[in-house]
Amino acid sequence: MLRWVVFDYGEVISVRTRALPELAAMLGTDPESFETAYFAERVAYDRGGTDTDYWRAVGAHFDVDVDDTRIEALTGTDTNGWLDTDAETLRLIDELADAGVTLALLSNAPSTFARVAEQQPWARNFEHLVFSGDLRLGKPDAAIYLHLLDTIAARPQECLFFDDRQENIDAAREAGLRAETWTGAEAARRKLRELGVLG
């Protein structure tokens, strides 16, 4: 029996950040080169790296020395860029919460973003918010799924997990969770009705 529905955040609850061109301009580089560096260094950041270490690593790709003032500005712009949410997903989350479905979040995200995300209106619908940056490990590591299960006091088969990345879905299934690749709120709603979670 399903007791929990677990959502990823990035490009599931949120839309893809639109801040990359602005961030590239702040470092004086072109958007395409910046995007490559941005995501190349993101794994360490999502697994507990500091804002300072992350932005200096990104800046090093372009021989740009990133001082504290610029780090603060970059972090703020980056955080705001990931706060834009998908209206249909939020509607689904509200529908689940109104139906009494217990919700959790499992996201690869730095701790700085996590503290802001926790204060967003959508977060009130979640019993638990689990962020990789706080744990110093992330999806698709098996340990993060075990941590999730410990946190929510659930057996793997009691959880349905939605994520937009296939590697994270595969790892969740290996950990015993029911997991579905996110393709949008309407497809998720159909799956939830099929499983009897929604009427």
Q: How confident is the model at residue 96 (pLDDT cuts 50, 70, 90)?
A: very high
* The pLDDT of residue 199: 87
Q: How confident is the model at residue 73 (pLDDT cuts 50, 70, 90)?
A: very high
Structure tokens at 125: 């619908």
Question: What mean pLDDT is predicted for residues 52-57?
Answer: 98
DSSP of 186-197, one letter per residue? HHHHHHHHHTTS
Triad 168, 172, 178: Cα angle to 5°: 125
The answer to whether the CB of 45 falls within 8 A of the CB of 133 is yes
* The pLDDT of residue 1: 87
Q: Is the pLDDT of residue 3 over 90?
A: yes
Cis peptide before 121 (omega within 30 of 0): no
The answer to whether the CB of 86 falls within 8 A of the CB of 8 is no
